Structure 1
Amino acid sequence: MDFCGWVNNPPPDSGVEWDWFSGESEGLFAPSQDHSTGSSLGHFAIFSSQDDFHSGKVAQLESETMDAVERACLEIWHFAEGFGAQQKPSDITLTVFLSVGGELRPLLNTSGFGNNSWIPDRVDYSASGPHQIILQANCPESEVGSFSVDDVHIIRGRSCDETGLTTTLTPPTTTPAGPSSDMDCTFEEGWCRWIQEVGDDADWARHTGLQVDDPWNGPRFDHTVGNNQGFFLLLNGSGLKDGERAAVSVPAVSLESQSCVEFWFYMLGPSVSSLDLLLQTNSSELLVWTLHGTQNPEWTSARVTIHTNDSFKITLAGHRNTQSWGFIAVDDVTVRGGACSNQNVCGFDSDSCGFDNSVSQRGLWGRRKGGEHHGDHTYGTEQGFYMTVFSSNSRQPEVADLLSPAFSSSSEMCVRFWYWLPADSSNSLSVHVQRDGEPGDALWRRPGSPSTGWEVAEVTVSSPARFYVVFRAVHVPGTSDSVKIDDVSFKSGACSPAGSCDFESGQCTWVNIHKDGGHQWVVANGGSHGPPTDHTTDTPEGQFLLSLSRQHGSVAQVVSEWVQEKETSCFTLWYHMETSDSGTLRVFTRSGPSDQTLVFHSNSSGSRWSRFSQTLNSTNLFQLLVEAESKSSGFIAVDDISLTPGVCKQNETTSGFEGCSFENGTCGWEDVSSGQFKWERGRNATGSAGPPVDNTLGTEEGWYMAVEPHRGEHVSAALLQSPLSREASSTCTLHFYHNTYGEGRCGGASAPLLLALTPD
């Protein structure tokens, strides 16, 4: 056990200690990987409350005694988990104390956040004499969960503002089994045997994070050593013409008939083109793997099995256009003999990963290689494999059940997979749990309109006894195409609700739609051209979706997974628009690519995070689509999208000033008129009674507040009063839309609209 000099010293009435765990340790709420190495082999300190003995207890971890310091920065990474703690603060709290001369002074108090990721906290402090830092975890009575800490650093002589984070946000290099080859390269000492292709339109550059001055010009850290001094290959910026290509290649020497090429890539920006892996043979150049567009803001591994009978060169090619904005980076290339093994995700490219057909059904699943017009999802080319239902000579619809390997855990698991439904609407795909010979009721089902590409879905499964996850396809005879699935993965814990995402760990099940001449939504944080903080954590490190384009009228679209049938649900979205010139934000529900209904649109948020909520009524499957259309300048950001059962709450307010669209009520705004002239909530009016459409939805279904005309004989003021708002800053901006119509009694314009601030 290695606590690096830190010592357990629990209070006398507690007796509970911090444990030293790794991702491979047994524990209900233990993280699957540490923060330092980003792997299951790395260690961390954990306080876990899994039973009544630990509930209501306190654990303390004390540092060594350190000398006095005028200023220092304490940095700590933490990870929280627990029942019901997903996407919200945890029940267990961590308090960091400074102990000087026997006196304790709290420096930091946090509850963490259950978003399945390591979160940093930093605080400045000073000590007039010898001192210690104390980490105290406190679990309330009857609560269960865990709180883990890692990478505790004390930077003496500098404030937190004067130094960046000292630890990497990315996992280290993982080396595949087998001896190294002449084709391997980390780019730390140069280009190894890789060379720039002659005659290309552009070149890759060998870069470090120190040379990156903008978050969309390159990664802050390399992948090999995980800091800003490590090297990687980089292609960024825009090209002088469309279709520019930059390629590096290495001679393919001493290869087996099958080899595994692994490399790490980082692709980020609103207009990123594509990265390709190619094989040069004696007769042609074969595209083996390709990826297009912005990805999650992290280093990601690609593992590709290549067949090398007559290959003499391996090539990595990046592409960019005149409107490109962003970067493509590559690091840590390795080549090993033999096919790639399946790791956390099963892409079916080497084998079936333990999946098998059910003997109780006539239909059969099997591995199939991609075709000319239908690549798999893993490789994106016809060289990859997926699972599909084989056609038969039967004249009756056939059911095919594909069973996963057996699971014995009683905890909830999240199953994530990609699928493709054929054009015939009679085909369907569903997910079940099988425990005693027969699958149970469908936990997820996708009938209806055909897929326009690979689509993603997540479903939560659990069982008190040993079970299988079943993918059931109904195949209609006479159709030339059938259901396909690819890239299946399982992780502990329940999935996020369909359509919901806080973007702290990526895009969840929201997928960018590629549009010619458009741009893409990017997962960004407070330093990436958008708002200074996200909405979820209200910190610069928190993440959100960001739309930003240099082209007027450029459109970015992102779509959710299909939402299962719900009679009524509440859709909520937080949005932030820099200025009224940022463009237009729209939200649609859709039941197919050409069948969509506008739910919300806005041209401004008042330069702050604003909330929109709308009750949705649907008995059919639907998707949510968020669209941003750029204007002359500024950004559009969205965060904390949620879809919850039931109607949206009316008159719901927060501690700060809350905007109101009046779609679900008046949000606490009320008429306080003393005369006969009054404000009323209305819609779809005509003439002087009000506009036919509102501003929020732009349709006759939208609501607004209006003054009822021709009411009363005496002139009086109609007063609409907001809920009581706490002071937010020394200056605030009130942003609203208004619509006036008609003439006054004296033949002039309509009655004036006046604003007044009333102190509490």
Structure 2
Amino acid sequence: MQETLPFDDLSISPGLCPLAGNCGFEKGFCTWTNMKNDDFDWLIGKGSTNTQFTGPTNDHTENTAQGHYAFIEASSPRVPGDIARIQSQSFTPGGSRCFHFWYFLTGSGIGSLNVYLVTASGNQTLWSLSGNQKNMWQSAQVSLNSTTQFTVIIEGIRGSNYQGDIAIDDVSFTTSSCTLMPSYANPAAQTTASTMSTPASTSASPTPAATQYDCNFDNGLCLWKQDTQTDQFNWTRAQGPTGSAETGPTNDHTKGTRYGWYIFIEASNPRRPNDTARVMSPLISDNSPRCLSFWYHMYGTHVNLLNVYQTRSISSLGTAIWSRRGTQGNQWLQAKVAITPSSPYMIVFEGVRGISYRGDIAIDDVRMALGSCGYASVNNSCDFESSTICGYTHYTSDQHPFQWHHGSTTSSGTGPSADHTLGTTAGHYVYMESSNVPVNMTTHLITPAMSATSGPVCVRFYYHMYGRNIGALNVFVTASNTDPSQKGRAVWTRNFNQGNIWHLGQATITPNGQYYVVFEAVRGTSYLGDIALDDVSFKNGQCSSAGSCDFEKGTCAWTNVQKGDDFDWLRSRGSTNSQFTGPTTDHTLGTPQGYYMFLETSAPRVPGDKARLASEIFPAKQTSACFIFYYHMYGADVNRLTAYILTNQTTDTFTSEAMLWTLQGQAGNTWNMGQINIPTFYTARPFQIILEGVRGPGYKGDMYCLCVCLDNT
């Protein structure tokens, strides 16, 4: 028998863990999460909402302007019919439950507030109320009955105008039945097919004008050819699955079906580790700037390397202009690379086989559009591939501004060796050079002017802080791009050595009027303190909570550990490949389309091998925290799942590790909730959470599978 140890839906929040499902919204959403398959998010508010004549002035819990509640903001850019949903944790069946909450529906533009019971077979409308109600908090309750695992979804629908803020507070569950309240809340008892569709994992960009070098592989290789001189095997043109379990795509990218075509490298026998396959374009001699774009699929525990070269000769490839290594999840991803030729060239895609057969790599929809890739900022986002750095500036008082750079910085033992965008030495980033500058010197990178929207904005960026004497990186929001004294208080900060890796940083801001975002780097105590930035972006709405991830659109700020373990966590959906082990659905959506993280323990894995997944590094706080996650551990050979806390004993690196939670052996064929109180002894210093799965003894059969699935981190 095989082993499975999946988990999903991880989150971390201040304070002690609440009772399952109960929430007064004083410290966030507790175990409730904003869903992805809607139009906007529920927000945490206090006092009055931003719009007059709608929404509460106090919360229900404390009945003060300092107390918190959850609400939907109906102002622009929201339009009638826009939907916002939050979802509870998953509950196991058994007996009647009563779901109780308080609601506030006041305003001329109130839409609807709905409550659903969601199971794998569909959604049941339990409670629904529309239109302007009394200007007060009112009590609601509804009975919950299900013979299968279920979740509860609260849905707010924007009404006819901006005076339509809907608020809820003090949601709770009890283990007894109850009558509907209010009686006119119109429960629709029928079960319907879910209208809550799974979000797409990728979004298409506008299609550029076609060129003769474009290819979607539906009718062959177009003008592209196999390398017959310098590689060990060929790319294969295929439809549907590649033929090996737990690797490669099941659909092409162009049509999104098993009837569309793509090309891939087949990693099965007789292929050997590091065998290469190359496919190349014709020689292009027009010297026109172009944007190379393509979609790639790199999924499997043995995935190795995909490289792209711009070269004159297949026998002399030079340095890759784009590169990705390791599994990227069971999804198609898009890449863009600017081509600025000075002589004739060809484009070469090179796939490198990993250590075993679960290493299929695919590409589709290759385009060679004339013109640039649009690296100039979009909504002031920037990947720093252009020397204009998207119009970002610095204070005139900065004596050593951020430098535009590619490859390694000038000092060994600090700074990145490649950018984040392309993952190669050809890609660009900006950084603070720590050599020959004074201790505690600050330098700044300032976005162009931006105009505030009606709600919060999520600032996302990638940062690299590696070196023995790292200082600090701070983010500010300011109304001035000339006066450093107006920066105010930092909305995000990190210090200490964060390791030789790019980390995701994000901060929710609520700006007013015209504003700028300022990145401030502080020089540490020696030259080993280079700090770099890349891939800055902005998105309307709140950022996901620090440490939270449901894995529907990637791994968020969680990353596989590069040193100290034996293999990696993988992102997948649906059933695992082994019978009698693993989940059939994720926890977030409760469907086969939802994603989770798992461990693949087939050969060459051996008993005792471990895989570690690391959170972002959290700044020090003087309050405790609660870490919540969902795990699935089912199978006779399941070994152990452990959560560790990692803190820094020195100012230079993270060195102290403590075990906070562990579970060994199978825990049933269901998703289970785990929660861990993290005391201030650990949170008083910067800390990191590590989730470790250990491969069990397995069984001498066709396959050995240990699945540890993570969702809603």
Residue pair 1:418, 1:454 contacting (<8 A) in 2 also: yes
> Match for residue 432 of structure 1?
476
2-side partners of 1:109 and 1:434: how far apart?
45
Tell me the C-alpha RMSD between the 2 structures. 4.1
Amino acid across the alignment from 1:611? M
1:326: how far off? 4.4
Q: 1:261: which partner in 2?
A: 292
User: How many residue pairs end up in the alignment?
Assistant: 530
Task: Decide which of 498, 509, 512 is 1:464's aligned counterpart.
Answer: 512
Q: Deviations over 1:241-273 (max 9, x none)?
A: 211212111123134364321111122222321
CA deviations 1:288-315 (Å, max 9, x no partner) are 1111122243321101123422453211
| Match runs of 1:434-513 below 5 Å | 434-436=478-480, 437=483, 438-476=486-524, 479=527, 482-513=530-561
**What does residue 612 of structure 2 align with?**
557
In 1, Cα distance between the equivalents of 2:546 and 2:156? 36
* Aligned 8 A contact 2:476 2:491 in 1: yes
**Alpha carbons 1:50, 1:144 under 8 Å: kept:** no
Are 1:245 and 1:317, in contact at CA under 8 Å, matched by a contact in 2?
yes
Give the distance between the partners of 2:515 and 2:584, measured in 1 at CA.
47
Q: Which residue of 1 aligns with 2:147?
A: none
SS in 2 for 1:577: coil
How does 1:82-231 map onto structure 2 within 5 Å? 85=86, 109=125, 143=166, 169=200, 174=205, 177=208, 179-198=209-228, 199-209=230-240, 211=241, 216-231=246-261
SS at match of 1:286: coil
**1:170, 1:226 within 8 Å by CA — same for their partners in 2?**
no
* Residue of structure 1 equivalent to 2:708: 637
Distance 2:203 2:489 in 1: 42
**Whole-Å separation in 1 of the counterparts to 2:635 and 2:687:** 31
1:597 maps to 658
* 1:407–1:317 distance in 2 versus 1, CA, 3 Å: same
Deviations 1:461-498 (A, max 9, x none): 12223211111001248516521011111111111221
Query: Which residue number corresponds to residue 84 of structure 2?
Result: 81
SS at match of 1:251: coil
CA positional deviation for 1:455:
1.6
Aligned partner of 2:263 in structure 1 is 233
Greater shift after overlay, 321-330 or 622-631? 321-330
TM-score relative to the length of structure 2: 0.66
- 3-state SS, counterpart of residue 301 of structure 1: strand
SS of 2:390's equivalent in the other structure is: coil
With a CA cutoff of 8 Å and minimum separation of 6, indicate the structure with the bigger relative contact order: 2
Aligned pairs (5 A) from 1:503-652: 503-514=551-562, 518-529=566-577, 530-550=582-602, 551-552=605-606, 553-567=608-622, 568-591=624-647, 592=653, 594-607=655-668, 608-616=670-678, 617=680, 618=682, 619-631=684-696, 632=698, 633-640=704-711
Alignment of 1:626-705 (within 5 A): 626-631=691-696, 632=698, 633-640=704-711
Q: Counterparts of 2:217 and 2:689 in 1: how far apart (Å)?
A: 43
Classify 1:398/1:171 alpha carbon distance in 2 versus 1 (closer, same or farther; 3 Å): closer
Residues 79-113 of structure 1: CA distance to partner in whole angstroms, max 9, x if unpaired?
8427xx488899956799xxxxxxxxx9853999x
Taking the aligned partners of 1:160 and 1:207, their CA distance within structure 2 comes to 33
CA distance in 2, matches of 1:107, 1:581: 35
Q: CA deviation at 1:169?
A: 4.1
Q: Is the 8 A contact 1:571 1:641 kept in 2?
A: no
Does the C-alpha gap of structure 1 residues 144 and 214 become closer, same or farther in structure 2, counting only changes over 3 Å? farther
Give SS of 1:353's match: helix
Q: 2:337 aligns with which of 298, 304, 328?
A: 304
Gaps of 5+ in 1: 1-28, 35-48, 58-77, 97-105, 113-134, 146-158, 643-760
SS, match of residue 562 in structure 1 = coil
Q: How far is 1:509 from its partner?
A: 0.8
Match of 1:250 in 2: 281
Which letter maps to 2:587?
Answer: H
Q: In structure 2, how many angstroms separate the alpha carbons of the residues matched to 1:445 and 1:314? A: 41
Alignment correspondent of 2:18: none
- Higher-Rg structure is 1
Residues 546 and 312 (structure 1), Cα distance of their counterparts in 2 relative to 1, 3 Å cut: same
State whether residues 422 and 451 of structure 1, in contact with CA within 8 Å, keep that contact through their aligned partners in structure 2.
yes
Instruction: Tell me, yes or no, if the aligned pair for 1:571 and 1:614 is still in contact at 8 Å.
Output: yes
Q: Tell me the distance in 2 between the aligned counterparts of 1:166 and 1:231.
A: 25
Distance 1:542 1:566 in 2: 33
Change (3 A) 1:377 1:503: same
Q: Structure 2 vs 1, CA of residues 445 and 322 (structure 1 numbering), >3 Å: closer, same or farther?
A: same
Q: Distance in 1 between matches of 2:197 and 2:338?
A: 36
The answer for the alignment partner of 1:385 in structure 2 is: 428
Distance in structure 2 (CA, Å) of the matches to 1:418 and 1:95: 38
Letter in 2 for 1:638: C
2:440 to 375, 379, 397: 397
Aligned to 2:152: none
Provide TM-score, normalisation by structure 1: 0.62
Distance 1:454 1:412 in 2: 25
Structure 2 portions without partners, runs of 5+? 1-33, 40-49, 57-70, 73-80, 91-100, 104-111, 117-121, 129-154, 169-191, 410-415, 648-652, 699-703
Larger strand percent: 1
CA deviation after TM superposition for structure 1 residue 359, in Å: 2.4
Q: Structure 1 pair 213/160, CA: closer, same or farther in 2 (3 Å)?
A: farther
Contact 2:565 2:611 in 1 (8 A): no
Question: How far apart, in 1, do the equivalents of 2:37 and 2:443 lie?
Answer: 34
Identity of aligned residues (%): 27
1-structure distance, mates of 2:354, 2:344: 29
Contact 2:304–2:354, Cα closer than 8 Å, also in 1: yes
Selected match of 2:392 from 355, 361, 368: 355
2:304 maps to: 273
Change over 3 Å in CA distance of 1:396–1:518 after alignment to 2 = closer
2 CA distance for matches of 1:190 and 1:175? Answer: 24
Distance in 1 of aligned mates of 2:266 and 2:89: 37
Query: Is the 8 Å Cα contact of residues 644 and 658 (structure 2) preserved in structure 1?
Result: yes
Aligned to 1:688: none
